[in-house]
Structure 1
Amino acid sequence: MTGETTSRTALRSPRSVTRARRIRRLREVWDGLRASRSGMVGLVVLAVVVALALLAPVIAPSRLLDVTQLDNPVNHAPTWALPLGTDPSGRSVLVLLLWGSRVSLLVGVVATVISMVIGTVVGMAAGHFGGWGSAVLMRVIDFFLVLPSLVLAIVLSSVLQRGVWTVIIAIGVTSWAGTARLVRSQTLTIEARPYIERAWALGAGNRHVIGKHVLPAVMPLVMANTTLTVGGAVIAEATLSFLGLGDPTKPSWGTMLKQAMDSGAATAGYWWFLLPPGVAIVIVVLSFTVVGRAFEAVINPTLRSR
């Protein structure tokens, strides 16, 4: 029986063995996340928020955002019919909160993906290729690290046409430097290992080493950093929208805060218009943070042992 099992294993292709190893690793990661109570709570909260954002057109049709079709009282306190009250235009704050989650999550996730792609590519290139090219890339990374990313995002949002994609691009192309530096150090660590030297000795090229060895080893760290970065992107979007650099035609949590400030909701005591978007931002950012910390602890044996 053992001989049959050995022969079957020997007949399996390297691709199937690699696939089985990756599936086993994903199961181990999932089991590690399930063991983290805070990580699972954050994951459940994010799942609920994403589901509400996707179902916003069903739960609250877009006509509820049109002030010409509403007869609600303005600045009305919460009631059973209007659980979170109304804004100065008579729109339901709950409806604005649901639709605002779509824009805030879209900006946070897409901007983070752009940032992670740029940071991963630049970081691996700076760590893998030596010489003057690596030196130039490091100086570019240092430049973006020295200048505050939020200031650069404000400049880009001011120069470009206002819109959701302008905010996404402004955040994505200005917040990748930290990821690039992290990936570069991880790339240098990986390429110092013996199996990389054996790959070079067997005639492997740059494409094979990066695609087959470096990138798979770097991706867990990138994924953990991604979950931690989404929260920062959500805060950056809220900041830009609060400063009036977002899309005024589409509700977001940052736009709601700006409208609350412009309408004097804080001084007039209209807490139901000011508090919900701020609490929503805190909950989402905290959920992404605890999920990222739990994922980081799973993939990092040092943190897991602690």
Structure 2
Amino acid sequence: MTLENTPPTPAVPAVPAATPPPRSAAGLARARRRASAVRFWQRYRTHRGGLLGLAGLSLIALTALLAPLLVGSDVLSVTNAPGTALESPSARFPLGTDQFGRSMLALLIWGSRVSLTVGLLAAALSVAIGALVGVVAGHYGGWFATVIMRVTDWFLVMPTLVLAIVLATVMSRSIWTVIVAIGVTSWPTTARLVRAQTIAVESRPYIERARALGGGHRHIMTRHVLPNVMPLVLAQTTLGISAAILTEATLAFLGLGDPAVISWGGMLQDAREAGAVSSGHWWYLAPPGIAIACVALAFTLCGRAVESVLNPRLGASR
């Protein structure tokens, strides 16, 4: 049989590729959040200062969490102190001892738990109040927003530390008092920033479409405005933690903290009362002061990096 007389081979029908099942709305939302988190990390890791601050915070946070395992809780006792009063640094006590003979290194590790807790909770309370006030004022506007912003301006011009001292003085001396005192006095800056961002978001066309489709005030604020101001809130939170830690240390140094707990500011106050400045016992003053400065610097570096990631124009201007 010649090639010309060969019958043509019948075409095999192509098997259609299996199409993936449609994803639910919740699955799509999770995928978008994961992709957003990946993009955020890819941009964040380009900032050397942010990575340095994150590494320092991770080390300090891990040390604070493992404090009961690293040094135990018996090191806080003033009656069973392992050393003598105000020993200089040695192999047994790398950072010396305090006026009761307790290890300064152990006290420093335990103090990180209180200082970090107060800083995180106080900053969260401050940002929550500021975000709520800013979103409400920016959304409603009119005389209501004018009254709210005049109250905000009054808090803004008043010294935050003075208001915190007044609240810590009239309330009972405890950690929660310090948290409330810092949180309710440091929110105005966040409120003004969030209000400006809310006004910018409210002017976008999709907000008008949401109103035309019957979206109420609560729907617009929670589903449209709040997600758009959350990056600003996140950046403000990271920057506010360092300020809260410094304020807590100041209140404790002035004797307005909880005397029953160990914090870095309380350690400075104890050193002042023991006369460490005049007697030259530098190991009583230097460790808590350096720890406060390092944590504040680490949070500031992280906050600046977060700002640059969430606002690329800010990073370009720098």
Q: Indicate whether the TM-score tops 0.5.
A: yes
1:164 and 2:167 equivalent? no
Partner deviation per Cα, 1:68-100 (whole Å, 9 max, x = no partner): 112411111101110000011101101110111
What does residue 203 of structure 1 align with?
214
What does residue 180 of structure 1 align with?
191
Output the CA distance in 2 between the equivalents of 1:24 and 1:271: 50
1:61 and 2:72 equivalent? yes
1:119 and 2:130 equivalent? yes
Deviation of the 1:20 alpha carbon: 1.8
What does residue 31 of structure 1 align with?
42
> Alignment partner of 1:162: what SS?
coil
- 2:261 pairs with 250, 260, 272, which one? 250
Deviation of the 1:191 alpha carbon: 0.7
Query: What TM-score do you get using the length of structure 2 for normalisation?
Result: 0.92
What does residue 277 of structure 1 align with?
288
Output the CA distance in 2 between the equivalents of 1:99 and 1:200: 53
Which one-letter code corresponds to 2:255 in the other structure?
Answer: G
Output the CA distance in 1 between the equivalents of 2:189 and 2:97: 41
Which one-letter code corresponds to 1:46 in the other structure?
Answer: L
> Alignment partner of 1:273: what SS?
helix
Q: Is the 8 A contact 2:253 2:268 kept in 1?
A: yes
What does residue 304 of structure 1 align with?
315
Deviates more, 1:62-71 or 1:235-244: 62-71
Deviates more, 1:135-144 or 1:284-293: 135-144
> Alignment partner of 2:258: what SS?
coil
- 1:266 pairs with 277, 285, 289, which one? 277
What does residue 233 of structure 2 align with?
222
Deviates more, 1:194-203 or 1:266-275: 194-203
1:137 and 2:160 equivalent? no
> Alignment partner of 1:19: what SS?
helix
Note the residue ranges of structure 2 that are not aligned, 5 or more in a row.
Answer: 1-15
Output the CA distance in 2 between the equivalents of 1:86 and 1:8: 66
Which one-letter code corresponds to 1:134 in the other structure?
Answer: A
Partner deviation per Cα, 1:30-70 (whole Å, 9 max, x = no partner): 11111111101100100110111111111111111112112
Partner deviation per Cα, 1:241-289 (whole Å, 9 max, x = no partner): 0110001111111011111111111111111110000000010000000
**Percent of paired sites with the same residue:** 53
Note the residue ranges of structure 1 that are not aligned, 5 or more in a row.
Answer: none
Output the CA distance in 1 between the equivalents of 2:79 and 2:219: 60
Deviation of the 1:8 alpha carbon: 5.2
Query: What TM-score do you get using the length of structure 1 for normalisation?
Result: 0.95
What does residue 94 of structure 2 align with?
83
Which one-letter code corresponds to 2:69 in the other structure?
Answer: V
- 2:245 pairs with 234, 247, 253, which one? 234
What does residue 28 of structure 2 align with?
17
Q: Is the 8 A contact 2:137 2:145 kept in 1?
A: yes
Partner deviation per Cα, 1:182-203 (whole Å, 9 max, x = no partner): 1000000011111111111222
- 2:119 pairs with 85, 108, 116, which one? 108
Which one-letter code corresponds to 2:171 in the other structure?
Answer: L
Greater fraction helix: 1
What does residue 110 of structure 2 align with?
99
Output the CA distance in 2 between the equivalents of 1:303 and 1:178: 18
Q: Is the 8 A contact 2:81 2:100 kept in 1?
A: no
